[in-house]
Structure 1
Amino acid sequence: MQEQNLGNRVKKLRNIQRISQEFLAEESGLSIRTIQRIEKGETAPNGDTCQKLAVALKVSPNELLEWTAVEDIDFLKKLNLSALTFIFFPILGILVPTLMWVSKKDKIKDIDRIAKEVINFEITWVILFFLIPLFIKPLLFSLIEPILNIINDGSYVNFGYDHWTDAKIIWILMYLANITFIMLNTFRIQDGKKLKYFPSIKFLKMVS
């Protein structure tokens, strides 16, 4: 299927430019037989061959290759849902989607965009998972407590702060938020809508 999509794309671009297979073979440095086999979907050209074809057809390699990708909404949903493995161990929410992405990279439409958004969110989540309960929350509390004591006419207020109990509450809320985002965005993939993950630091850059 992938080979046929590329073959159709090459043939279409060649016809648009009104050039023969012989001319394309000469311009790309490939044999006529190779051009014929590609257009018939009998062979899958490697990266170097695709590069030569793109130059000869005056298009970018990405523009040529994106036509080899097929739509597979089910796989995209599975990739998104694979982030749920964070439930067993936080880092798995990054590793499993990454492995699925690499295994199908350039073969499925929109896989780069979906994978990068999921992975960016999970990386951000893991960082916050360890930083918020252990550092940010106690720091904020230490700043707020003196202010509340001043408001209370200088009388010391003992809030009975239990660091680890509070950390567990935050972790539970973060787990619920992560699960909620993953499930909601799975429905958005099904409906062909843009994903909404927040917060998300762009560790992996989106390419337009």
Structure 2
Amino acid sequence: MNNQNLAIKIKDLRNRKGYSQEQLAEESKLSLRTIQRIEKGESIPRGDTLIKLTQTLGVTPDDLLEWTDIEDKGYLTLLNLGALTVMIQPMLGIIIPLVMWILKREKIKYVDDTGKKLISFQITWALTLYLVLMIASKGSYLPINFSLLNSFTVLITEFSSIGIFIIFLYIYNLISIIINIKKSQKGLKNKYAPSIPFLK
């Protein structure tokens, strides 16, 4: 790991803990100047300094030194593909990407950004679907187990505007995922809209 990547990681970990540089220095029993030099990439913490710093930040020395911001277009593609489980069950379209995001959000470039956008989009999409279904059923039930197959059944048996809208929701979700898979393969940032930013 180069000094700059390490500096970024330490600063990120400090911010996650809610520490200022002064607080980190105080908690780790290191000088403020040492913390500033590490975060500027002017020095690499070693020995006792590394141990004090990692203990305060709640990580192991290996975790800190082995961290790299690698680029993995394959994992980004899989992350987006994980959302296709929405076709089986809407909650899966949230849960699968959420697990994948948690596992690699700090390890792979763009996973944090893509995961937040994708999960927020899928939550917004699921809420819209359930709201439409509750309106259609006049609030008589909460359709948690609804799936794409159910929506085709609704469309065929009732051929209503609700059925058409539900199919449209599924098609829009599918197209959004496909577009973002192609963006990931080209190394571009993903964009999912519209969505409520549940994860920031």
Question: Given the superposition, is the C-alpha separation of residues 166 and 108 from structure 1 closer, same or farther in structure 2, using an over 3 Å criterion?
Answer: same
Matching residue of 1:25:
47
2:195 to 187, 200, 203: 200
CA deviations 1:13-71 (Å, max 9, x no partner) are 87x63x587xx535x1649xxxxxxxxxxxxxx953767999xxxxxxxxx78962311
Equivalent position SS for 2:181: helix
- Is contact 2:93-2:122 (8 Å) kept? yes
Q: TM-score, normalised by structure 2?
A: 0.60
- Measured after TM superposition, the shift of residue 204 of structure 1 is 0.6
CA deviations 1:181-200 (Å, max 9, x no partner) are 00001111122223221210
Matching residue of 2:172:
177
Equivalent position SS for 1:115: helix
Structure 1 moving runs of 4+ over 6 Å: 49-54
Q: What residue ranges of structure 2 are gaps of 5+ in the alignment?
A: 8-36, 139-156
Q: Distance in 2 between matches of 1:169 and 1:65?
A: 53
Question: Given the superposition, is the C-alpha separation of residues 193 and 66 from structure 1 closer, same or farther in structure 2, using an over 3 Å criterion?
Answer: farther
Q: Residue type of the partner of 1:115?
A: G
Matching residue of 2:135:
135
CA deviations 1:161-186 (Å, max 9, x no partner) are x9872221111111000000000011
Q: Residue type of the partner of 1:170?
A: F
Q: Distance in 1 between matches of 2:180 and 2:2?
A: 30
**Superposition pairs of residues 47-126 of structure 1, within 5 angstroms:** 48=55, 68-126=68-126
- Is contact 2:67-2:107 (8 Å) kept? no
Matching residue of 1:59:
none
Larger radius of gyration: 1
Q: TM-score, normalised by structure 1?
A: 0.58
Report how many residues are paired. 149
- Aligned-pair identity (%): 34
Question: Given the superposition, is the C-alpha separation of residues 190 and 52 from structure 1 closer, same or farther in structure 2, using an over 3 Å criterion?
Answer: closer
Q: Distance in 1 between matches of 2:66 and 2:50?
A: 22
- Measured after TM superposition, the shift of residue 73 of structure 1 is 0.7
CA deviations 1:122-179 (Å, max 9, x no partner) are 000000011135439x9xxxxxxxxxxxxxxxxxxxxxxx987222111111100000
Q: Distance in 1 between matches of 2:94 and 2:79?
A: 11
Q: Residue type of the partner of 1:25?
A: G
- Is contact 1:98-1:119 (8 Å) kept? yes
Q: What residue ranges of structure 1 are gaps of 5+ in the alignment?
A: 32-45, 55-63, 139-161
